[in-house]
Amino acid sequence: MTAVGGDPTDSASRGKYADRLDPELWEYIDKVNSWYPPEIVAAFIPEQRAVYGRMCVAFHQGRPEGVTASDGLVATGSHPIPVRRYRMAGKLEAAIVVYYHGGGFVLGDLDSHDDICAEICAGTGFEVVSADYRLAPEHLHPASFNDALAVFEW
């Protein structure tokens, strides 16, 4: 993968951050860029989603032992919002983490960040509720915000 301005693994091409980030982080950034190159943002949304989905599958680490997940729906007056609930076996729920996946309100779903939510659950012992909010551009603002708020209030 070649970034604008040269080889992304060359420290001169990394700009002011070349010496500020650990080699392990650069390795991760390079891996992400190999699956989801920066120039993909110029592609049509369906192509971006397909590339992002393939990247998420490639990066998926699986769920930690003891974490279970179940899918459900949060009812609203106009539409149901898909959610996934993660629970750690043998843990009392002291709190609930509501997780809103990344993707700039255009990409992502319950599967794209599944292992991240499971890791949060395993690491904290808290229940995690992941919200599959509606995406743009099919759903204009404030649709994603309204979905996020509805899941939070649920």
Domain parsing of the chain, residue ranges: 11-59, 67-153
Nearest to 61 by CA among 112, 3, 4, 135: 112
Q: What is the pLDDT of residue 10?
A: 62
Q: What is the pLDDT of residue 4?
A: 44
pLDDT digits (tens, 9 = 90+) for 49-100: 999 999 999 999 889 999 999 999 999 999 999 999 999 988 777 899 999 9
pTM: 0.82
Rounded distance between C-alpha atoms, residue 121 and residue 126, angstroms: 5
User: pLDDT band for position 19 (50/70/90)?
Assistant: confident
Q: What is the pLDDT of residue 7?
A: 57
Residue 85 is classified by DSSP as: E
Who wins on pLDDT, 7 or 136?
Answer: 136
Contacts of 96 (CB under 8 A, 6+ apart): 126, 127, 128, 129
Whether the predicted pLDDT of 32 surpasses 90: no
**What average pLDDT does the segment 132-140 reach?**
97
**What average pLDDT does the segment 114-141 reach?**
96
Q: What is the pLDDT of residue 150?
A: 98
Whether the predicted pLDDT of 5 surpasses 50: no
Residue 134 is classified by DSSP as: P
Are 52 and 108 contacting, i.e. CB atoms less than 8 angstroms apart?
A: yes
Who wins on pLDDT, 93 or 102?
Answer: 102
- CATH match of 67-153 with 3.40.190.10: no
Whether the predicted pLDDT of 2 surpasses 70: no
